[in-house]
Structure 1
Amino acid sequence: MGGIYLILIVTMLASGLVSWMLKSKFEKYSKIGLQSGLSGREAAEMMLADNGITDVRVISTPGKLTDHYNPADKTVNLSEYVYEGRSAAAAAVAAHEVGHAVQHAKAYTFLKFRSAMVPALSVASRYMQWILLIGVVMIQSTPIPLAVGVALFALTTLFSFITLPVEFDASKRALAWMDTKGIVTTQEHGMAKDALKWAAMTYVVAAVGSLATLLYYASMLFGRRD
Structure 2
Amino acid sequence: MVIPPIYLLLIGLTAVSFFIQWRLRSKFSEYSHIALQSGLSGKQIAEMMLADNRIHDVRIISTEGQLSDHYNPADKTVNLSDEVYHGRSAMAAAVAAHEVGHAVQHATAYSMLQFRSAMVPALSAVSRFMPLLLLAGVFMLRMTPIPLAIGVLLFALTTVFSFVTLPVEFDASKRALAWMEQRRVVTSQEHGIAKDGLKWAALTYVVAAVSSLATLLYYGMMLFGGRSRE
Report if TM-score (shorter chain) is over 0.5: yes
Deviations 1:11-38 (A, max 9, x none): 0000100000000001000001001111
Match of 2:100 among 98, 101, 108: 98
Distance 1:126 1:155 in 2: 14
**Matched residues, number:** 226
Instruction: Give the distance between the partners of 2:44 and 2:112, measured in 1 at CA.
Output: 28
Secondary structure (helix, strand or coil) at the match of 2:79 reads: strand
Secondary structure at the aligned position of 1:60 is classed as strand
Deviation at 1:40, TM superposition (A): 0.1
Letter in 2 for 1:113: F
What residue in structure 2 maps to residue 72 of structure 1? 74
Q: Which runs of 5+ in 1 are unaligned?
A: none
**Aligned residue number for residue 42 of structure 1:** 44
Q: CA offsets, 1:35-78, max 9 Å, x none?
A: 11110000000000000000001110011110000111100000
1:183 aligned to which of 175, 181, 185: 185
Shift of 1:105: 0.4
C-alpha distance in 1 between matches for 2:155 and 2:22: 27
Give the corresponding residue for 2:34.
32
Which residue, out of 124, 127, 132, partners 1:130?
132
Distance 2:30 2:166 in 1: 25
User: Which one-letter code corresponds to 1:79 in the other structure?
Assistant: S
CA distance in 1, matches of 2:105, 2:12: 33
Percent identity over the alignment?
A: 71
Hey, what does 2:116 align to over in structure 1? 114
Give the Å deviation of 1:123: 1.2
SS of structure 1 residue aligned to 2:105: helix
Pairwise CA RMSD: 0.7
Task: Say which SS state the counterpart of residue 60 (structure 2) adopts.
Answer: strand
Cα distance in structure 2, aligned partners of 1:62 and 1:10: 32
Could you tell me how far 1:106 is from its partner in structure 2?
A: 0.5
In structure 2, runs of 5+ residues without a counterpart are none
**Alpha-carbon deviations, 1:144-168, whole Å to 9, x = none?**
0000000000000000000000000
> Cα offset for 1:124?
1.1
**Aligned residue number for residue 55 of structure 2:** 53
2:74, 2:212 → 1: CA distance?
26
Taking structure 1 as the reference length, the TM-score comes to 0.99
Paired residue secondary structure (1:76): strand
Measured against aligned partners, the alpha-carbon deviations of 1:130-151 in whole angstroms (never above 9, x if no partner) come to: 0001100000110000000000
Q: How does 1:163-202 map to 2 (within 5 A)?
A: 163-202=165-204
| Structure 2 Cα separation of the partners of residues 198 and 73 of structure 1 | 28
Give the SS at the match of 1:78. strand
